[in-house]
Amino acid sequence: MKPPSGFPFLYQLGHVPGEGFANGVIDLGGGLEVCQISTFHKIWSIHEGGLDNKGASFYEPSPIPEGFYILGCYSQSNNKKLFGWVLAGKDYEEDASNGALKNPIDYNLVWSSESFKIKKDGNGYFWLPVPPDGYRAAGLIITNSPEKPGLDRVRCVRSDLTDKCQTDALIWESSKHSNFQKIYSLRPSNRGTQAMGVNVGTFSCQNLSSLACLKNVKSNLSSMPNQSQIQALIQAYSPLIYMHPDEVYLPSSVKWFFTNGALLYHKGEESSPVKIEPTGSNLPQGCLKDDTYWLDLPIDEEAEETVKKGDLESTQIYLHHVGDWEHLTLRLSNFNGELESIFFSQHSGGTWVTAPQLEFQTGSNKAVTYASLNGHAMYAKPGLVLQGHVGSGIEISNTTTKSKMVLDTGTRYLLVAAESLQGSSSAAIVEPPWLNYKRKWGPKIDYAIAYEIKMVEKLLFFGILKTALRKLVIVLPNEVLGEEGPTGPKVKKNWDGDEL
């Protein structure tokens, strides 16, 4: 079974010279090569429970390239099109006694559906491979019969080639059987540009902690795109961002922001702010956790209004291979260069959306995205999203729709950082000075509602009422009470780590 068509992908990277990016196989070192399998044979399905009460299905990757072996099965909810992958491994270690992969010595039955009175395709059986000493299992095996799988059905991985993993997205749970453990996808516990964990694409049951992800012990970045390939990816996948037709506060380039009057303030010298050079070359570099410096709008009222409104025509997209400010993060496969998902930042949070759920510009790989009115939270679909405690009456309204104001992120962009290129044969990326200004890009703003809430709390005599008020305040979006001037992009967790 192959994931259905209906969304475009890039398959034209072969003509762009490079090392290991999009070549199909990655050498993780230690005798282990891996490839990505996205075609499947369905083993078992359950048709109730889980997301939208649609149930879930369980698959074995198939076919497997010669010399490779499966490391575990794949599962996903039935509320969306089949779209996913798992890794298969190949052992090129010459020492068979200490190979990268070995057969399990047995299986333990984790759970079977025999006692479940629920809509299902027969019964499913969940088996945990029992690895030999010095090896770990990276995934479960699913069967539709009670007989144990053959010992050659799956491979376990040498322990030094594995890393810790954790549960990620919920795949399935049953409201009728509370004693059954939930089913989750897995991801490496340690993620980011310096982390070596590799996602296998398998799944687990809640509280089953014995499964592992893989590790890039080779610690090289040959599977990352080079500068030419980055340019090709940008041209292929750069999203379109639609602004709301009533949007007042448009984006701009950093250079436009500086040259049109943004000012650098220094604590104790507030009366004499400094004009900022177009590249930010006079900004203090590095990061100190203090309020010594911050940026603010021009003092002149007319200039202030100009800068507030921004300038769409000057807007430049700043690219980093992990993340940015209010941003979109595109996750691509290192195996084939295909777009897998996009992260839409939404104030202090955000959402991952897989490729089948994205809207694409007709005839292209470019995802269509939407920026909310005045707040600029990013969404995959137009409409209204309320953020905050539903029913409290205090919520942020995020409204999105199409308009003539659209930003093609592939038209004007600047690659400001790509750590994987440093020290390689590719030209090093020169970081602009403003990128290393890590203090606040604006003053702290306290809104009147924050003061009013404090006054109400003082007037409440009963502790139970004060507790209720505090619980309400906790679930409010930060933007309701006030906003800290945002710190530079390098300070954000997603710069060298992961999103949520």
DSSP 190-219: S-STT--EE----EEETT-----EEE-TT-
- Tokens, residue 92: 């090129």
**pLDDT given for residue 216 in this prediction:** 94
Bigger pLDDT: 444 vs 182: 182
Query: Is 382 in contact with 411 (CB distance < 8 Å)?
Result: no
What is the distance between the alpha carbons of residues 382 and 397, in angstroms, rounded to a whole number? 13
Nearest to 153 by CA among 127, 121, 182: 127
- Residues 6 or more apart from 335 whose CB is under 8 A from it? 22, 23, 24, 25, 26, 35, 36
Between residues 212 and 230, the one the model is more confident about: 212
Which of 198, 202, 229, 188 shows the shortest CA–CA distance to 29?
198
Choose among 116, 122, 147: nearest CA to 49.
116
Quickly state the pLDDT bin for 370 (edges 50, 70, 90).
very high
pLDDT at 62 > cutoff 90: yes
Tell me the C-alpha to C-alpha distance, in Å, between residue 346 and each of 66, 278, 313, 377, 477: 44, 29, 24, 4, 11
What is the rounded CA–CA span in Å between residue 366 and residue 383?
Answer: 20
Whole-number Å distance between alpha carbons of 252 and 158: 51
Report the pLDDT averaged over residues 429-434. Answer: 89
**What was the pLDDT predicted at 470?**
53
Q: Residue 159 in contact with residue 136, Cβ under 8 Å?
A: yes
| pLDDT tier at 11, thresholds 50, 70, 90 | very low
Task: Map tokens 């099965």 to a residue.
Answer: 73
Q: Number of C-alpha atoms within 13 angstroms, CB side, residue 154?
A: 32
At residue 223 the predicted structure's pLDDT band, cuts being 50, 70 and 90, is confident
Paired residues of 89 in beta bridges: 34, 69
Q: How far apart are CA 336 and CA 132, in angstroms?
A: 33
**Does 154 score more than 60 pLDDT?**
yes
Mean per-residue pLDDT, 442-458: 56
| Predicted pLDDT at 5 | 41
pLDDT at 291: 80
- 281-293 exposure pattern, b = at least 16 Cβ within 10 A, e = fewer: eebeeeeeeeeeb
pLDDT of residue 106: 98
Q: Residue 295: beta bridge partners?
A: 264
- Total number of residues shown for the chain: 500
What lies within 8 Å, CB to CB, of 167 at 6+ separation is 184, 185, 186, 204, 206
Give dist(CA 204, CA 283) in Å, integer: 48
Q: pLDDT at residue 449 above 60?
A: no
Greatest alpha-carbon span in the chain: 80
Q: At 65, list the tokens.
A: 């390239």
337: left (phi over 0), alpha (psi -120 to 50) or beta: left
Residue type present at position 390: V
Give all strands (DSSP E) within 381-484, no chain letters. 383-388, 395-400, 406-408, 413-417, 445-446, 482-483
pLDDT in tens, 265-309: 999 999 999 999 999 999 998 766 678 899 999 999 999 999 989
Query: Which is it for strands 317-320 and 413-417: parallel, antiparallel or unpaired?
Result: parallel
Helix, strand, coil percentages, rounded to 5, for the chain: 15, 30, 50
**HSE-CB of 422 using CA atoms within 13 angstroms:** 8
Lowest mean pLDDT among 98-107, 268-277, 340-349, 483-492: 483-492
User: Cα angle at 297 between 448 and 396, to 5 degrees?
Assistant: 40
Question: Is 127 within 8 Å of 193 (Cβ atoms)?
Answer: no
